[in-house]
């Protein structure tokens, strides 16, 4: 299968050089291996080799720094970077400097061989090295070195050189928004705005005008023309958070915009060109929502161009020490005292199930930093704080979230999703309608649509109930079940 192509390997670890030489040799490739970056550079300058596999940390030079230089003198030569220093930044730099692929160590030999085949087979469209100029010890936005996170870093890093639509899924608190921001902050559109809109936090009848804007007089309360998020995000990234909660009409409209690349405002006629990179996120299982008829399948496929699934924290317990450290550092930079964790405390953290994922860990670290007097946090402190915060379902003692608490949570999310305060009119009525609708549905369901009984249960006059049913456009169903 081989036409005897030569692979240049640079790694200061003799064992790796041996393993690679043997494996590549068995597949019929010629291999030249060195422990030094300068020897590799000489070979490249001399025009040798069809592919480079290089380590990052070598005694004389950093392999990552070599990548743009190689790309300059031999743009067609593919470079595969491998590193044990497997942070998000390594993956990111490898991608942005024009490496063909990045492999965190320890790598799987089969995977490496597959990468080599791809690198040698793929058409040679020279990718420009996109050096961001950033360097050194930037603050890492994403923390964790588990294999699952490595995979995420590689995907995110590669995506920063594209405008592809991304769908991030994962349980609550797994870092979906953080990944969306990283895609923007390190991507091609980093000079433009990052605009987020949370579908779950906006009253459903306002979503379309929030997304696409509205003309003056388009609906009651639209006193002026309103700019939508699509327009605000022009040149940048539009983050559609909780996309699984998007109402059906808005889904239809969004699908059309994605298909046609342009949109019109609510009440407007002139099409406006959409110039956004879309990143969507949800904690829901969208395939199930599709089966339930709650999410459009065609929209799903439009958005799911590149799926990223963030693993729950319990699937990557090995990341807990680094994450805990990271959150304690963050707590410190927000003015809380510096704390350490004892080894037992870390073990205790690893034993927890983390239903709230990274956010739960972050909150716990903040609480411990704020409340715990000793500098070193021990296992007992962790245990008692974890019990303290036990979710109601498990603890039972605290009782479930009350309606008031739930409403407050939703309202806060709604308020914080508004960029410039609360531009909404009729807020009082709108919010009450959100509560009235499910209440009336529930009571009408319980009374099988009997409005006399329902009115009695609600303590409402029958005419008032009838009026509300009309206003809220509730279906009138009689004799259910």
Task: Work out whether 240 is an interface residue with ligand ATP (CB under 6 A).
Answer: no
Adjacent-strand bridge partners of 410: none
Q: Considering the rule CB under 6 A, would residue 187 count as an interface residue with ligand ATP?
A: no
142 binds, among Mg ion, ligand ATP, none (CB under 5 to 8 A by kind): ligand ATP
Q: How many CB atoms lie within 10 A of CB 4?
A: 8
∠ CA 96-102-105, rounded to 5°: 140
Site string for ligand ATP, 295-334 (x = CB under 6 A): ----------------------------x--x--------
CB nearest Mg ion: which residue?
Answer: 177
Task: Tell me how far, at minimum, the Cβ of 174 lies from ligand ATP, in Å.
Answer: 4
Establish if 277 lies at the interface with ligand ATP (CB under 6 A): no
H-only helix segments in 222-319: 229-232, 248-260, 286-291, 297-303
- Residues that contact ligand ATP, how many (by CB under 6 A): 17
What minimum distance in Å lies between the beta carbon of 189 and ligand ATP?
19
Minimum CB distance to ligand ATP smaller for 176 or for 184 = 176
Closer residue to ligand ATP (CB): 78 or 176: 176
Q: Cis link prior to 106 (omega < 30° from 0)? A: yes
**Dihedrals phi, psi of 194, to nearest 5 degrees:** -110, 115
- Give the whole-angstrom CA distance, residue 283 versus residue 363: 20
Q: Does 150 participate in binding ligand ATP (rule CB under 6 A)?
A: no
Q: Which does 214 bind (CB under 5 to 8 A by kind): ligand ATP, Mg ion, none?
A: none
Name the percent of the chain in helix, strand, coil, to the closest 5: 50, 15, 40
Nearer to ligand ATP, 41 or 88 (CB): 88
Nearer to Mg ion, 107 or 327 (CB): 327
Minimum distance from residue 170 beta carbon to ligand ATP (Å): 5
CB 92 within 8 A of CB 113: no
Contact between 84 and 116 under an 8 Å Cβ cutoff? The reply is no
Residues 160 and 142: their CA atoms lie apart, in Å, by 14
Pick 97 or 176: Cβ nearer ligand ATP: 176
Which residue lies nearest ligand ATP, judged by its C-beta? 175
Residue 63 interacts with, from ligand ATP, Mg ion, none (CB under 5-8 Å by kind)? none
Q: In what order do the strands lie in the sheet with 51-55?
A: 30-34, 6-10, 51-55, 78-83, 101-104
Judged by the rule CB under 5 A, the positions of this chain that interact with Mg ion are 176-177
Kindly write down the DSSP assignment for every residue of 445-475, as one continuous string: HHTTT-HHHHHHHHT--HHHHHHHHHHTT--
Minimum distance of Mg ion from residue 58's CB (angstroms)? 40
Q: Which does 51 bind (CB under 5 to 8 A by kind): Mg ion, ligand ATP, none?
A: none
Which residues contribute to the site for ligand ATP (CB under 6 A)?
142-144, 170, 172-178, 283, 323, 326, 358-359, 362
């Amino acid at each position: 299968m081989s036409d005897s192509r030569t692979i240049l390997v640079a790694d200061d670890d003799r064992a790796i050089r041996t393993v690679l030489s043997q494996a590549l040799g068995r597949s019929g490739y010629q291999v030249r291996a060195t422990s030094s970056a300068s020897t590799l550079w000489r070979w490249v300058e001399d025009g040798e080799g069809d592919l480079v596999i290089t380590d990052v940390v070598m005694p004389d030079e950093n392999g990552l720094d070599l990548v743009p230089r190689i790309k300059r003198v031999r743009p067609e030569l593919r470079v595969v970077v491998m590193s044990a220093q497997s942070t998000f930044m390594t993956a990111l730099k490898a991608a942005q400097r024009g490496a063909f692929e990045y492999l965190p160590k320890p790598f799987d030999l089969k995977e490496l061989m597959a990468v080599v085949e791809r690198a040698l087979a793929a058409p040679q469209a020279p990718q420009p090295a996109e050096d961001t100029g950033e360097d050194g010890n930037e603050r890492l936005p994403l923390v964790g070195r588990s294999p699952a996170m490595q995979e995420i870093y590689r995907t995110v890093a590669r995506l920063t050189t594209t405008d592809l639509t991304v769908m991030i899924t994962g349980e609550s608190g797994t870092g979906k928004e953080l990944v969306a921001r990283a895609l923007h902050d390190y991507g091609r559109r980093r000079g433009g705005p990052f605009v987020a809109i949370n579908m779950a936090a906006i009253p459903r009848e306002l979503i379309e005008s929030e997304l696409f804007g509205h003309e003056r007089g388009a609906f009651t309360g639209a006193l002026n023309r309103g700019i939508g998020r699509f327009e605000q995000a022009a040149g940048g990234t539009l983050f559609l958070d909780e996309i699984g909660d998007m109402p059906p009409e808005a889904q239809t409209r969004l699908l059309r915009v994605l298909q046609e690349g342009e949109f019109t405002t609510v009440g407007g006629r002139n099409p406006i060109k959409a110039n956004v990179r879309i990143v969507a996120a949800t904690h829901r299982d969208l395939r199930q929502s599709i089966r339930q008829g709650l999410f459009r399948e065609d929209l799903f496929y439009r958005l799911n161009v590149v799926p990223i699934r963030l693993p729950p924290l319990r699937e990557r317990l090995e990341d807990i020490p680094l994450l805990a450290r990271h959150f304690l550092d963050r707590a410190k930079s927000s003015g809380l005292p510096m704390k350490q964790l004892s080894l037992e405390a870390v073990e205790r953290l690893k034993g927890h199930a983390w239903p709230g994922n990274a956010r739960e860990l972050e909150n716990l670290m903040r609480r411990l930093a704020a409340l715990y007097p000793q500098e070193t946090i021990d296992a007992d402190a962790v245990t008692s704080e974890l019990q303290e915060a036990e979710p109601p379902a498990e603890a039972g003692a605290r009782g479930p979230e009350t309606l008031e608490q739930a409403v407050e949570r939703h309202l806060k999310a709604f308020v914080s999703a508004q960029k410039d305060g609360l531009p909404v009119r009729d807020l009082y009525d709108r919010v009450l309608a959100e509560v009235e609708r499910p209440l009336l549905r529930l009571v009408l369901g319980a009374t099988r649509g009997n409005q006399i009984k329902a009115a009695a249960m609600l303590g409402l006059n029958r005419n008032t109930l009838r009026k509300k049913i009309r206003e809220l456009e509730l279906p009138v169903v009689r004799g259910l079940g």
